[in-house]
Chain A
Amino acid sequence: MSFPDPIAVFRTEAAELLEQIEAGLLDLNVNLGDKDQVDAVFRGLHTLKGSGAMFGFEALAAFTHHCETAFDRVRKGEVPATHALVTAVLEAKDHMRALVETPAGDHEAVSEVLLANLRHAVDGSGDQAASSVSAAPAKTLFKIRFSLPQNAMANGTNPLPLLDELRDLGTCRIVADRSGIPALDELVPTDLHVSWDVELLTDQPRSAIDDVFIFVMDDMELAVEEIAVAAQMPTVAAPAPVATAASVAAEPVASATSTAAAAPAAPAPGDAKAAKANENVRVPAEKLDELMDRVGELVIAQSRLSQLAGGSGDLTLRAVSEDVERLSGELRDTMMVLRMVPVTHLFSRFRRLVHDLANETGKRIELVTEGETTEVDKSVIERLADPLVHLVRNSCDHGLETPEDRLAAGKTEAGHIHLSARQQAGEVIITIKDDGRGINKERVRAKAESSGLIAANASLTDQELYQLIFQPGFSTASQVTNLSGRGVGMDVVKRTIDALRGTINVVSRPGEGSEISLAIPLTLAIIDGLLVRVGNGRYVIPLSAVEECLELSIEEDMRSRGRSFISLRDSLVPFLRLRDLFRTNTTPDPFQKVVVISTGSERVGLVVDQIIGDHQTVIKGMSKLHHDVATFSGATILGDGDVALILDVGHLVAEGQQQEAHLRAAG
């Protein structure tokens, strides 16, 4: 057993905490009165400070301390949560990241500036800040009820020091509840039967109470109720109600301390209980990948078994083989579900991005997200992040107008970016929609012509025209900004989506906005395929792309020679002879088949010698040597150990359409 590097562990933890803090701040920015978020941010900062100090990140701890103090004051209602404060802490949070990553760097100057900003945001003036940020905290009355696990004493936890620790926090009134003590003959001397009610008046935060119980937190019953918050309570007034009141209810205390600044707080739910309710298991990603590989191998072994069983007359063997086939199919499906993660995490980062973009461009931008619970394969999510950043940036930068232009066009001052995800027939559709000016078709055309992407006056459909923006080196922005407009990015989007076997669809209405949809297969690892034979080789066509299979009659074959079209219910569909494409040099089967595949809008037929049937296809990547072969997207291992190549549908459809265009041009 080896211990991981504690610093690395801390860094991972810190990164998670910073993310939580950021999410909390952004939520708070939307609703400044959200007390839960104030608490969440405070807790995050507190933990970060604490563990930072322990792992020797002193600069981080010292810096974070000030942010924590500021939020503590917000939490206690001493200062209001403001947009200025949120912005200041967001900036501070970025600095904390730097402090985590390069603790030895020279951060002094930046820290000073950020803290000055923070003080300014808290107090509205920088001068009095130092003193008031660290002003003496107010006192709070907590009502605490706890009982320790029955075996606590046997395991070395003595309740008396715990009570002493509570007494150290402030003024305490402790009552033991002895009703749980059984009759003498049933009493187990090492067991604990007493529970306690404590009223504690303290200037310490709630977390100090949790710290007392830190070792038994997960196993005990602990209810902490914040009865009233009294701001800067005079020392004489403080202990009085506690010392005298036989039972301290919310009302008497609130009235006794007329200086109460905040309304009685709602009972804080026990953190320990909340944590208990969450029964998720965290598994390192590579273990899931490993499991996926094993399932893949199992599927391959199973297809060998099916083949053997199919060839033997042994009925029992066949029955077993069918069972194994069904089970491995189910296992595969379960595995897929395990690898699915909601897009929430992916979407949440855009809130910060849009926030920053709005600040940089001086535009007002509202981000609306929808369908965050949509689940996608983990590896797909990871690879979608960059393309989405490009698209959102693009919408903010090119799509949305300045507030003045929007008002002039009769729109709301704030532009909207709508980010949504949904599942549809084996694909996840992610849509980025804005209500900006839309794509300027003339500018796209002019730009494409001038950069030689299309011939002058070429006739293009709108969709074809829009797809040009994904070409390398294409940018219509007349002014290059910091955000986009360097022509880098959109082609990267296209390449990434292609690599994910996805498609991009663009819709745009002038003056109303544009909408870019990405359709991505839900998973990358195992697909249902259609196994076909061309010459002596076998190939897999992704079943999701297959529309139908038909026979290529000899007459049709003769008739279409040289033209390569089949008529399919009144429409002409171009087809590709895979025998020719792959130069098989074999005699064709007398009855060739056409598999019609489509990418949604375009169709093409593939002529094959034989359709073998369904095949659960475990996708293996191509080697580096074959990386540039566009016709194939991967390979798989068949039941008999042979390798079959997987056809790249997008590429073949494009090829078919190109062939059609050539033939049309040739007349």
Chain B
Amino acid sequence: MSANILTVDDSASIRLTTRVALTNAGYQVTEAVDGVDGIAKLNAGQFDLVITDLNMPNMDGLTMIRELRKLPAHMGVPVIFLTTESDGEIKQQAKAAGATGWLTKPFDPESLVKIAKKVLGK
């Protein structure tokens, strides 16, 4: 049984890197291009983990996380956000919105998989 992961990012290259890394690690990956798309995908399926960028058009990551936490079907699903900020402020904001953890950009595929494993467990 492999976990289902939703990645939300407006950058095609980041989506690609993420997909390759996660697929190689044995996860099922679904992609969304922004927050609106992300919510739509969430409503259409079940996910074990959501990895999202914060800075996106249409609906940004913070808003999407807040919306996601209102969906009863996704109660307690872990959400990892990508951030380039190394200071705590954005982390606090995202956590207040309901995020589970973060990954600092730029990241390598290894640390991405490590984070996924950390949050999903064995």
CB within 8 Å of B: which residues of A? 1, 3-4, 6, 9-10, 13, 51, 54-56, 153-158, 160-161, 164-165, 190, 214-215, 218-219
Contact = CB atoms under 8 A, between A and B. Distances in A.
Given A3-B55, A154-B76, A215 B102 contact: yes
Contacts of A165: 118
Contact of B95 (A4, A153, A219): A219
B112 to A, nearest CB: 12
Given A155-B69, A156-B78, A218-B92, A3 B84 contact: yes
26 contacts: A3-B85, A4-B84, A6-B84, A6-B105, A9-B85, A9-B86, A10-B86, A54-B107, A55-B106, A154-B69, A154-B76, A155-B69, A155-B76, A155-B79, A155-B98, A155-B99, A156-B98, A156-B119, A157-B78, A158-B76, A161-B122, A164-B122, A190-B76, A215-B119, A218-B92, A218-B95
A273 to B, nearest CB: 15
A9 B76 CA distance: 33
B71 to A, nearest CB: 12
Given A155-B95, A155-B100, A158-B78, A13 B86 contact: yes
B120 interface: yes
A190 B75 contact: yes
A193 to B, nearest CB: 15
A443 B105 CA distance: 62
B55 A1 contact: yes
Chain B contact patch, size range: 20 to 34
A164 B121 contact: yes
B77 interface: yes
A55 B104 CA distance: 10
Interface string B56-80: 0000000000000100000111110
A190 B100 CA distance: 15
- 10 residue pairs, one from A and one from B, having the closest CB atoms: A161-B121, A156-B78, A156-B100, A215-B101, A3-B84, A155-B98, A6-B84, A9-B86, A153-B76, A157-B100
A54 B111 contact: yes
A13 B85 CA distance: 12
Contacts of A190: 75-76
A233 B101 CA distance: 36
Contacts of B86: 6, 9-10, 13, 51
> Among the interface residues B55, B85, B100, B107, which one has the most CB atoms of the partner chain A within 10 A?
B100
A158 B121 contact: yes
B100 A215 contact: yes
A12 to B, nearest CB: 9
Query: Which DSSP category, helix, strand, loop or mixed, fits chain B's interface?
Result: loop
Given A153-B76, A154-B76, A190-B76, A214 B55 contact: no
Given A4-B85, A154-B76, A218-B95, 6 more contacts: A6-B84, A155-B98, A160-B121, A161-B120, A164-B121, A215-B100
Nearest to B101: A215
A93 to B, nearest CB: 21
A215 B100 CA distance: 7
Contacts of A161: 118-122
Nearest to B111: A54
A3 B121 CA distance: 31
Contacts of B78: 156-158
Contacts of B88: 218
Contacts of B100: 155-157, 215
Nearest to A282: B87
Nearest to A168: B122
Contacts of A13: 86
Contacts of A6: 84, 86, 104-106
Nearest to A163: B121
A156 B76 contact: yes
A644 B82 CA distance: 54
A10 B86 CA distance: 8
Contacts of B111: 54
A145 B67 CA distance: 34
A13 B88 CA distance: 13
Nearest to A160: B121
Contacts of B119: 156-158, 161, 215
A154 B66 CA distance: 12
> Among the interface residues A156, A160, A161, A219, which one has the most CB atoms of the partner chain B within 10 A?
A156
B34 to A, nearest CB: 15
A54 B106 CA distance: 8
Nearest to A55: B106
B84 A154 contact: no
Contacts of B99: 155-156
Nearest to A157: B100
Contacts of B92: 218
Nearest to B83: A3
A10 B107 CA distance: 14
A196 to B, nearest CB: 16
B104 A54 contact: yes
Contact of B77 (A3, A54, A156, A219): A156
Nearest to A12: B86
Nearest to B117: A161
Contacts of A153: 76
Nearest to B99: A155
Contacts of B98: 154-156
A532 to B, nearest CB: 49
Nearest to B122: A164
B74 to A, nearest CB: 9
A190 B88 CA distance: 26
A214 B119 CA distance: 11
Contacts of A157: 78, 100-101, 119
Nearest to A212: B118
Nearest to A189: B75
B64 to A, nearest CB: 14
A4 B55 CA distance: 13
Contacts of A3: 55, 84-85
A54 B84 CA distance: 12
Interface string B40-66: 000000000000000100000000000
> Among the interface residues B55, B78, B108, B111, which one has the most CB atoms of the partner chain A within 10 A?
B78
